[in-house]
Amino acid sequence: MDIKRVGIVANSSKEKAAEYSLRLGRWLSDRGLEVLFEEEIAGKTGMPGVSRSDLVSAVDLIVVFGGDGTLLVAARMAMGSDVPVLGINLGGFGFMTVINLNEMLDAMEMVLEGKYSISRRMMLSVSLEGVEYPALNDVVINRGNLSRMVNLETFVNGKYLSTFKADGLIISTPTGSTAYSLSSGGPIVLPELDSIIINPICPHTLTKRPVVLPPDSAIEVIVWTKEGKASMTLDGQELFILKPGDKVSIKKSKNYINLVESPYRDYLEILRTKLGWGELP
């Protein structure tokens, strides 16, 4: 793909975000590319800004400065388009922001020369009260601030699976398998293996374990609580309050996100590095 216009999105609260956004913007401009700054970081750099809704349709590549949370914001912007997203890590943990700051310019040089690969990441479509919402990482249904566990009556393709009596339930994509689901004892699923993970949070019965489902599975969760309302979050960014009897439907989305892979490390090396796995002697 011929890249002529680059959009820059950044977590403006990060100390180095404005500095490195401006540095990359100038570097790209010196090479004859048009650079558009998302309006939030534009305000920190003194450059003209473009709204999130207009940015995606105007660029050939989105570069994200921050951590995985910032990349999730950009992914939602790019959803439904073929515009690839490249994540540059500003010092956090970051499974999806795979380029380090000291690699930024060399990596961008390779991308502009077409020497890069794309990881096509599946998304979820979440339906609540007839309205659909996207999620790249996960859907989390939990007890919120209730003192008791919630009962989550769960069906797969119309067939009863189980009623999870637990603190909550995580329904995750492979991309989200290294996020909240991992910290709750879920499996790591490589991104190229489209699938849906159901993972209970602190289940009352220890035999209730994570389940990995085929990508064409349709999941329904009916929420039952004795103390009123529970909650649902999408990618940790959108919050919904659920009432007893509310039904949440989850399935694979028709949309994908295209993430630019690191030219220096494959996914297995990223796992070893981020999770601190030991090397062979």
Residues labelled as active-site residues: 68
**Sign of the CA dihedral with 123 first, then 152, 230, and 67 last:** negative
Q: In sequence order, what DSSP letters do the residues of 134-162 get, joined into one string?
A: EESSEEEEE-TT-SS-EEEEEEETTEEEE
Give the amino acid at 54. D
Q: How many CB atoms lie within 10 A of CB 2?
A: 6
Please tell me whether residue 87 adopts helix, strand or coil conformation.
strand
Strand partners, 234: 139, 238
**Residues sharing a CB contact under 8 Å with residue 78, sequence separation 6 or more, in sequence order:** 56, 62, 84, 85, 257, 258
**How far is 228 from 76, CA to CA, in rounded Å?**
31
Distance from chain centroid for Cα 234:
9
- Residue 210, CA distances (Å) to 155, 184, 196, 201, 249 in order: 14, 9, 10, 9, 18
**How far is 190 from 177, CA to CA, in rounded Å?**
8
**How far is 185 from 129, CA to CA, in rounded Å?**
30
Give the pair of three-digit tokens for residue 3. Answer: 């890249």
